[in-house]
């Protein structure tokens, strides 16, 4: 085939990156653990209706550790995570459908439940050294309350009995037993705080019978967000805290906290899901860690003995989770040419990565991969914000002279989250078809420190929308996009930003809203416990105190101002953003004769798992964009 590129407009570009390839041949990863040099992880398989499976890797052998009748997962805090744990060849996992906790003996392959069937959900496991007890978080849904109580419990493995050790706080996480089995540490927090606002760090002694003695809140002050309490091999306590404005790692000793390596970057992330890690001990003297600096992740080792730090250029720019044991290190991570993957490295050669499992089964030809450019752009109030810009790229096509590409402005969800500096197949789906794409880390995003993270407080629906607009116009000024072909796309809280942008200060030709929020007042009536008070910090008060703010910032109440076409996607089983949000705003647009398309997927929740539905969404979104832009 000739290497000469055709000059053509975006709607003529053909791409080998298909919706079917993205949906049916991709998997996602969450939890990862290492035990005796063997790496274990949990992966979700779209071709199996999103079923979650624990997989192990040992000496070039891959093993599905959980049979087909199990679906690994938990809903303790709403978004899952922390669904399995392994230590000394003993695997513990939670089944999403039944809520039961199982123990598997890796050597004999025997699997048995260790709790009785009931209205409970378990997560975030940690055993004592002898595997007599399993400590974890439990959500009690026996009362069918909208906000079910969360507690730390002790499971007696042999007796299949469960005892409540701690209750009363709104949330608990990270119950972690010291290597000698004598102490336990945990985090807890209460409404209205989210875990990235403020948490409490607690410590207690453990008796021989597994009960808690001498419970003590060892937190410094009330406005620190602690993350990932961790024991060293010699029973010393370490934890990440944002007391300096960035999540740094501290050693707790003699009732004081010592920063082991101060740096203006985040050795931590918001706890949307349970069980994430940004550091782990390789030995008594060494900590392997990952950290975010201006939204880009890096890897390093802290040497506690000589108080040194060394960076390692292993090419990973996004790291979701890290584990280490002796000389082995495991990651869930990626980079601009590598989609999320399970990766294994050797401590003595960390620059080299061994990709065990790629989330994309079919590799994408590098000639079609658009690599991101870090953008720092000025906001309208003379501040700085950040984005990752992807230009169009296709081996066989280029733009006609003087033509600029349409631009998709992607708003990440959360909103206390971030866009990743990493290969994302959906972005390449569009850039290989002639679209430019930008992911905006508007103020309020994570990975840039606490001050940046908290900028959005009181300004949700305004500052995020403004930053996205400012980014789009900045890219137009740089001749990286066509001012008349701007598209905005977002999901969940990002969907609110999409609709707010279209209603209040529209510069976009059209929008795509996936399980988005249109009515903030109605949102408070259909909300799960984890985020029940999240809106108060983002909007500056409760709906009772500040009803006018909730009303005014709800796009549903300004639907008559939306003049651009919108495409909607939602799952009918979404427990985070109720599907009625989409029905309501779509009906309002239809009443105003604004073109819109609505796709409701059966048995889908907050994030689509079924491969067929992912294909439908991608194909119809592309067709919609092309139709509007012609």
Give pLDDT tens digits for 153-192: 999 999 999 999 999 999 999 999 999 999 999 999 999 9
Question: Do residues 505 and 555 lie in contact, with contact meaning Cβ atoms separated by under 8 Å?
Answer: no
Average pLDDT, the chain: 94
Nearest to 391 by CA among 10, 8, 97: 10
The band of 7, judged by pLDDT with boundaries at 50, 70 and 90, is low
pLDDT of residue 65: 98
Residue 3 has pLDDT above 70, yes or no: no
The arithmetic mean of pLDDT across residues 461-490, rounded, is: 98
The band of 120, judged by pLDDT with boundaries at 50, 70 and 90, is very high
Residue 190 is encoded by which pair of tokens?
Answer: 């209460």
pLDDT in tens, 351-400: 999 999 999 876 788 899 999 999 999 999 999 999 999 999 999 988 88
pLDDT in tens, 585-613: 999 999 999 999 999 999 999 988 888 99
Gap between the Cα atoms of 613 and 224, Å rounded: 41
pLDDT of residue 4: 61
**Number of other residues whose CB lies within 10 A of the CB of residue 396:** 18
**Number of other residues whose CB lies within 10 A of the CB of residue 485:** 21
The arithmetic mean of pLDDT across residues 523-542, rounded, is: 93
The band of 481, judged by pLDDT with boundaries at 50, 70 and 90, is very high
The strand pair at 171-177 and 183-189 is best described as: antiparallel
Residue 409's region, left for phi above 0, alpha for psi from -120 to 50, else beta, is beta
Residue 9 has pLDDT above 80, yes or no: no
Place of tokens 């629906």: 461
Share of the chain above pLDDT 90, in %: 87
pLDDT of residue 505: 84
pLDDT of residue 1: 36
pLDDT of residue 62: 97
Gap between the Cα atoms of 615 and 286, Å rounded: 45
Gap between the Cα atoms of 452 and 471, Å rounded: 16
The arithmetic mean of pLDDT across residues 116-139, rounded, is: 95
Residue 453 is encoded by which pair of tokens?
Answer: 């993270």
Residue 2 has pLDDT above 60, yes or no: no
DSSP structure string for 377-426: EE-TTS-EEEEEEE----TTEEPPTT----EEEEE-SSSS----SS--HH
pLDDT in tens, 29-51: 989 999 999 999 999 988 888 89
Nearest to 456 by CA among 547, 539, 341: 539
Helix, strand, coil tally for the chain in percent (to 5): 20, 40, 45
pLDDT in tens, 275-303: 999 999 999 999 999 999 999 999 999 99
Residue 117 is encoded by which pair of tokens?
Answer: 């069937």
The arithmetic mean of pLDDT across residues 72-95, rounded, is: 94
DSSP letter assigned to residue 135: E
Question: Do residues 372 and 392 lie in contact, with contact meaning Cβ atoms separated by under 8 Å?
Answer: no
pLDDT in tens, 223-271: 899 999 999 999 999 999 999 999 999 999 987 999 999 999 999 999 9
The arithmetic mean of pLDDT across residues 518-536, rounded, is: 93
Share of the chain above pLDDT 70, in %: 98
pLDDT of residue 329: 97
Residue 93 is encoded by which pair of tokens?
Answer: 């996992």
Q: Is the pTM of this model over 0.85?
A: yes
């Amino acid at each position: 085939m000739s290497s000469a590129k055709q000059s053509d407009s975006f709607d003529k570009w053909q791409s080998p990156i298909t919706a079917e390839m993205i949906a049916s041949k991709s998997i996602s990863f969450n939890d990862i653990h290492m035990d005796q040099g063997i790496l274990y992880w949990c992966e979700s398989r779209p071709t199996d209706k999103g079923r979650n499976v624990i997989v192990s890797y040992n000496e070039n052998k891959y093993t599905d550790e959980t049979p087909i009748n199990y679906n690994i997962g938990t809903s303790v805090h709403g978004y899952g995570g922390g669904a399995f744990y392994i230590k000394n060849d003993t695997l513990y996992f939670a089944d999403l459908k039944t809520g039961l906790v199982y123990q598997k003996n890796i050597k004999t392959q025997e699997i048995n439940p260790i709790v009785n069937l009931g209205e409970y959900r378990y997560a975030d496991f940690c055993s004592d050294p002898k595997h007599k007890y399993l400590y974890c978080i439990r959500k009690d849904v026996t009362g069918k309350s909208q906000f079910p109580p969360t507690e730390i419990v002790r499971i007696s493995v042999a007796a299949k009995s469960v005892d409540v050790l701690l209750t009363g706080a709104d949330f608990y996480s990270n119950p972690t037993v010291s290597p000698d089995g004598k102490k336990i540490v945990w985090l807890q927090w209460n409404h209205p705080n989210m875990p990235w606002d403020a948490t409490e760090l607690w410590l207690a002694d453990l008796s021989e019978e597994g009960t808690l003695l001498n419970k003590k809140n060892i937190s410094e002050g009330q406005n620190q967000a602690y993350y990932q309490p961790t024991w060293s091999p010699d029973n010393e306590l370490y934890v990440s805290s944002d007391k300096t404005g960035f999540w740094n790692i501290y050693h707790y000793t003699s009732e004081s906290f010592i920063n082991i390596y101060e740096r203006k970057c985040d050795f931590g992330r918001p706890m949307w899901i349970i069980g994430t890690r940004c550091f782990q001990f390789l030995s008594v003297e060494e900590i392997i860690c990952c950290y975010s600096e201006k939204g880009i992740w890096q890897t390093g080792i802290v040497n506690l003995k000589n108080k040194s730090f060394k960076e390692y250029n292993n090419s990973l720019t996004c790291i979701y989770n890290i584990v280490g044991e002796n000389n082995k290190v495991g990651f869930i991570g990626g980079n601009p040419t590598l989609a999320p993957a399970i990766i294994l490295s050797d401590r003595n050669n960390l620059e080299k990565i061994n990709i065990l499992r790629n989330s994309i089964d079919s590799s994408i030809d590098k000639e079609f991969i658009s690599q991101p450019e870090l953008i720092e752009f000025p906001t309208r109030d003379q501040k700085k914000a950040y984005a990752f810009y992807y230009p169009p790229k296709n081996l066989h096509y280029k733009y006609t002279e003087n033509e600029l590409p349409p631009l998709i402005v992607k708003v990440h969800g959360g909103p206390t989250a971030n866009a990743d500096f990493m290969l994302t197949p959906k972005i390449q789906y569009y850039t290989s078809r002639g679209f430019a794409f930008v992911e905006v880390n508007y103020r309020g995003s994570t990975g840039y420190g606490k001050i940046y993270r908290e900028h959005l407080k009181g300004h949700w629906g305004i500052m995020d929308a403004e930053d996205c607009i400012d980014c789009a116009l900045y890219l137009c000024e740089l001749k990286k996009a066509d001012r008349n072909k701007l598209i905005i796309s977002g999901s969940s809280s990002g969907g609110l930003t999409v609709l707010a942008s279209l209603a209040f200060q529209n510069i976009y030709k059209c929008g795509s809203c996936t399980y988005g929020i249109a009515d903030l007042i109605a949102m408070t009536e259909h909300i799960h416990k984890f985020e029940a008070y999240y809106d108060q910090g983002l909007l500056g008060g409760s709906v009772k105190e500040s009803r006018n703010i909730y009303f005014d910032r709800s796009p549903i109440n300004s639907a008559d101002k939306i003049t651009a076409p919108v495409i909607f996607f939602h799952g009918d089983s979404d427990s985070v953003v109720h599907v009625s949000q989409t029905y309501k705003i779509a009906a309002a647009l239809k009443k105003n004769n604004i073109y819109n398309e609505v796709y409701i997927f059966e048995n889908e929740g907050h994030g689509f798992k079924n491969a067929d539905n992912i294909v439908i969404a991608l194909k119809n979104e592309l067709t919609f964009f092309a139709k509007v832009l012609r």
